[in-house]
Amino acid sequence: MTRVGIVGAGQISGIYLTNAAGATPFEVVAVADLTPQAAEARAQEYGIPLALSPEALLNHPGVDVVLNLTVPAAHAAVSRAALEAGKHVYSEKPLALTRDDGRALVALAQARGLRLGCAPDTFLGAGLQTCRQLIDEGVIGRPLAATAFMLSHGVEAWHANPDFFYQPGGGPLFDMGPYYLTALTALLGPVRTVSGQATQGFDERVITSAARRGERIAVQTPTHVSALLGFESGAAATLITSFDVWHAEVPRIEIYGSEGTLSLPDPNTFGGPVRLRLAQDREWREVPTDRPFAQNSRGLGLHDLIASVNEGRAPRASGALALHVLDVMHSTLDSAASGQTVRLTTTAERPAPLEGS
């Protein structure tokens, strides 16, 4: 049984621990947090044997895999320390805040013969795996283009501490972009070029969630970002992510093929609906998504990483894939700043479809 230690006992740890409570290929043996009381509370709630400091967990001989659920600014440092301690690592997104840190993590894992994985893993869910099968079977012909939209008015109405979302490393692109870009890469393959535009709609945001209602946040990062993505396959996609839109009527993701159109589910979820309309169809039709993992299955990428160790293969939600997504996001902002198209310096293999689904 693989032994997992969790670093970061915040809100997101709850769904990972809930999903780990059933039949899994691993046992959560320790939890750590900078706030000892938070680690102790999670350990008591879920019956975890050990509540430790982060340093003690990273160096504990009874931990095989570290699940990194810290805040994004700490992802690189915690993952690096875990790899240096000889642990496999699965991290929440993003892999790191900078491309250099992301590249260093991937290189370190390779040099140590360790597995490095990163969220999101929603592309392994029933909905997007159904889309993967339809594309692979040629149902919509050759994928030619795609559109993807994540339009909202930000998080200050519901998030207790939304400050980070409006600082560098935040914004709609870095917060929600990984779900959309990972889905597009898993379905269409790696991105080759990026042209971007980025704007900031408001200088300040007013928190309206209960605990800090009325406080103002200075906005220090673009809050409406558009990207034109050129894929190595020859397909092209338009991605728009925004915290400046009150209301919109647009699809989440659509893929346009030579023989028809595929409408994808929200890439921040694991299920459907999946809708299809071929060239000759008069109406859209819903495609059944009768596969496993249609509900919230966060942690599926961790399961696959552990299986990859035993099977001698790369994890599907790999560090290389997460690095490529990170490169796309930074390249989008670089292009917006320079006014020039940026050619990607990373690539990633299209992850294999999930077997048995």
CATH code of the domain covering residue 209: 3.30.360.10
Same domain, 332 and 201: yes
Cα separation, 71 vs 179, in Å, equals 17
pLDDT of residue 160: 84
- Of 179, 7, 181, 176, nearest in space to 89 by CA: 7
Domain-located, residue 353: no
Domain-located, residue 298: no
- CB atoms closer than 10 angstroms to residue 345: 10
Same domain, 45 and 112: yes
Looking at 88, 118, 148, the residue that finishes a domain is 118
pLDDT of residue 356: 59
pLDDT of residue 109: 98
Same domain, 109 and 129: no
Same domain, 254 and 135: yes
Domain-located, residue 356: no
Interstrand relation of 2-7 and 260-264 (parallel, antiparallel or unpaired): unpaired
Domain-located, residue 198: yes
Same domain, 159 and 281: yes
Domain-located, residue 316: no
Domain-located, residue 350: no
Inter-residue contact 52 to 31 (CB < 8 Å)? yes
Same domain, 86 and 147: no
Domain-located, residue 308: no
**Which residues are bridge partners to 292 per DSSP?**
none
Number of domains in the chain: 2
Q: Which helix (H) or strand (E) holds 306?
A: helix 300-311
> Which residue stretches of the chain have pLDDT < 70?
23, 356-357
pLDDT tens for 339-355 read 999 999 999 999 999 97
Looking at 118, 141, 167, the residue that finishes a domain is 118
What is the extent of the structural domain holding 152?
Answer: 123-290+323-343
Same domain, 187 and 265: yes
Same domain, 141 and 286: yes
pLDDT of residue 235: 98
Domain-located, residue 300: no
